[in-house]
Structure 1
Amino acid sequence: MEARILTWNLWWQFGPWRDRQEAILSTLRNENADIVFLQEVWAQEGGLDQVRWLADELNMHVARTEGPWFDDGVSLGNAILSRWPIIS
């Protein structure tokens, strides 16, 4: 069995992150990786969860670590996206 693997530091919310979201999604689609390791993914308390959104858009399974919640209600962490179920 062969697997295409990609790793990428998404650089948290720096830069024009709304525009970057679509560019990140487009790049991940074009790369067509089977397993993706992501660093500096973020979630807003009660709002957008970057890696969950990417997983849903790409129809992939997700496992993530969640870092501390900052005062502005944002959490920073790492994640794995996979075409196959993640068991543990």
Structure 2
Amino acid sequence: MKTLRVEILPSSLPPLGINREQAAALVGIGATLFDKAVEAGAMPKPRVIGERSIYDVAELIEAFRKLPHKSGDGGTLESLDEKPNATNPWD
């Protein structure tokens, strides 16, 4: 049975880099929405080691803390869940 890398590290030494699915889970969203957040610049792009993409935990935490809080007035930033506007030439 394969041992996960996270299980190799002692709990006092958390990983510096995590994979895409772990990064999405860290910020509390699914992988597809996470990909959209990375594309939109709300979440950081991964670092590259060989052909592998690794997300920097510290950068993810920093990006998460920069996300806006939900406002009570109904005003929100452009939703990452919305479908692209068909009339927008940039989409």
TM-score range, shorter chain: under 0.3
In proportion to residue count, which structure has more helix?
2
**Could you tell me the TM-score, scaled by structure 1's length?**
0.26
Query: Structure with the greater relative contact order (CA < 8 A, sep ≥ 6): 1 or 2?
Result: 1
Larger Rg: 2
Structure number having the greater strand percentage: 1
